[in-house]
Amino acid sequence: MIGVLCPDAQLPVVEEFFELFKTPWQRCAPGRVYDVVITTQVDGPLPEARVVLAFAACGAQYDSSCGITVEGPRQRAPFTCGPTQLPIFGELVTFRQSPTQHVVGTVRGSAAALGLIRGGSTVIRLGYDLFAEIEHLLSQGQPVEHAESPTIDTHIDLLRRWIVGAGVPLLEIGPSPAGHDFSVCLTHDIDFIGIRQHKLDHSMWGFVYRATVGAARNFARRRLSIARLLRAWWAVVSLPLVYLGLLRDFWEPFGWYAVAEAGLPATYYLIPYKRRAGEHVPGRAAHRRGTAYDVADVTTWATRLVENGCEVGVHGIDAWHDDRRGRDEMRRVSGVVGGGVSGIRMHWLLQKADTPTILERAGFKYDSTAGYNETIGFRNGTAQVFKPLGARTLLELPMHIQDGALFYPQRLDLSEPEAETRCGRIIDQVRHSGGVVTILWHDRSHGPERFWGEFYVGLIDRLKLASPWFATGGQLVQWFAARRATHFHEEPDGVLAIVCDAGESRPGFRVRVYPPGQETGGLEGTELTYVDVPWNGEVPLTFDGALRPTTSLSRHPSVTAAVN
């Protein structure tokens, strides 16, 4: 059991953090001695525990009693522990090392985390405030220069290594279903349903320019093959025949994705009202935000998608700033697909500080707007579904990889090999930490002049090799909600019970136990061994004081051991 000492104001952040780091914890009770204490309080003595992780970005009252000398504050400095590096967004102090202390982490060569033995306790004093960092990430997110850092997930990984490396066993419910290292959510923002809706307008002329001059430029830059160049030019020449209905509309998205994804579940966010740019849209091009179609124009496809195991959500226009309009947008899309609409992603990824609470009041169960337009990566520093601070029920499905961010000249402007490398790093990070890789591929990205369809098919093939759980946004949010509904109970005889208030979950959970005594040390980031116990939540799962499962596992698959 982890005890937490923190100011009252940090408690909401602490509660959300331990929904992500799903392990037994409680706020420190007077008189109780814990296996582990995490503290961000700077006043009072250091608590008693087998392991104390003391976080403070300033001098603390207990520093002198531990022989710790604070040297000075730094801002936004990268923190390094062994091979692991993560950004720190608030203040960070460094320390003067004494002979009885060893350096656990550094900032630009200076000690930013010290380890020492005090009585019977292992103490790690860290020069930043963990929960202030988590609050910043969940509320403001991280800038593009740190986009590839799964910062919250790295904080969790470091805590796990410090605790287990100090000899304390650890139990947690992982952020991926049993039998899978991670999950994948394929999503599509449908802004266009065909070029036939665009005759002599800005979208058509933009296409003509990009498919002629732009395609020639990309050919010269070796970003386009001669075959694709000729296809782009043919698409321009064939436009009259497409408008007459004599040739297939090469922007039509639904049929192409149905073949490319080969029966995999996907989530399609559809526009509720055509020709609505929306209000309070920033930028000089705000009037171009309106679309030439809405959900009523794709009724047949919307129904077919749901019947084939896909999900339809709202591609919101004004829901990000007005809950009344959000309810209206949800009703509009629900009316076409016959109800069941629970998710939203805002058109152009528009949002403001209170957007999550506005969407919650509108009745949405989840949002998937949290991501970057400029790059790919972890906007809020995590691959997990999380609850935005201030929300009560709404969950956020973060978006990680977007086609336009990868390939647009005004954004990353990557070649396909470069994009494959960047996407591979994101996938590998999520495969290591667990969670979900959410991918956004737009409606006309498969056709001329973009030609990003083959890359998308290759990306899916790469993901399939890793055997993740492919699920819709709604299915993933439902699974994470069930994980959030699990609770740890201490029994009088020392038994630890895990109960799921949501009942049986399919797929089930992965309860992971890290045994103690891994002398190779988690402090410097070496690998940890663990045992996985699959659990479907139908009946309570119990463990003895040594974290050995005592529940009959006849209803569960066999226990598996692995190395992280």
Span 234-248, pLDDT tens digits: 999 999 999 999 999
DSSP result, 287-302: GGG--S--GGGGHHHH
Interval 265-315: pLDDT, tens:
999 999 999 999 999 999 989 999 999 999 999 999 999 999 999 999 999
Q: pLDDT averaged over the chain?
A: 93
Residue 13 per-residue DSSP state: H
Between β-strands 91-96 and 102-107, what pairing exists: parallel, antiparallel or unpaired?
unpaired
Domain limits, the chain: 2-171, 183-193+251-478, 195-237, 485-563
Query: What pLDDT is stored for residue 277 in this prediction?
Result: 96
**CA dist., res. 467 & res. 304, Å (int):** 26
Question: Long-range pairs for 478-481 at CB < 8 Å and ≥24 separation?
Answer: 479/177, 479/183, 479/505, 479/507, 480/175, 480/384, 480/385, 480/395, 481/395
Residue 49 has pLDDT above 80, yes or no: yes
Query: What pLDDT is stored for residue 494 in this prediction?
Result: 81
CB atoms within 10 A of CB 387: 23
CA-based nearest residue to 496, from 483, 481, 486, 509: 486
2-171: CATH architecture: 3-Layer(aba) Sandwich (3.40)
Interval 483-533: pLDDT, tens:
999 999 988 788 899 999 999 999 999 999 999 866 544 445 457 899 999
Query: What pLDDT is stored for residue 547 in this prediction?
Result: 86
Query: What pLDDT is stored for residue 350 in this prediction?
Result: 97
Same fold, 2-171 and 183-193+251-478: no
Residue keyed to tokens 């895990």: 498
Residue 138 per-residue DSSP state: H
Interval 146-193: pLDDT, tens:
999 999 999 999 999 999 999 999 999 999 999 999 999 999 999 999
Is residue 112 within 8 A of residue 81, CB to CB? The reply is no
Query: What pLDDT is stored for residue 559 in this prediction?
Result: 42
CB atoms within 10 A of CB 201: 11
Q: Across residues 337-355, what is the average pLDDT? A: 95
**CA dist., res. 426 & res. 378, Å (int):** 9
Would you say the C-alpha torsion 122, 126, 132, 134 has a positive or negative sign?
A: negative
CATH topology (fold) of 183-193+251-478: TIM Barrel (3.20.20)
Query: What pLDDT is stored for residue 556 in this prediction?
Result: 41
- 460-494: b (≥16 Cβ within 10 Å) or e: beebeeeebbbbbbbbbbbbbbbbbebebeeeeee
Q: For residue 5, which phi and psi values (nearest 5 degrees)?
A: -110, 120
**CA dist., res. 102 & res. 98, Å (int):** 8
From 127-131, 397-401, 483-487, 516-520, the region with the lowest mean pLDDT: 516-520
pTM: 0.94
Residue 555 has pLDDT above 50, yes or no: no
Q: And the tokens for 206?
A: 């933009």
Q: How many residues are present in the chain?
A: 564
Residue 553 has pLDDT above 50, yes or no: no
Query: What pLDDT is stored for residue 516 in this prediction?
Result: 81
Interval 450-475: pLDDT, tens:
999 999 999 999 999 999 999 999 99
Residue 542 has pLDDT above 80, yes or no: yes
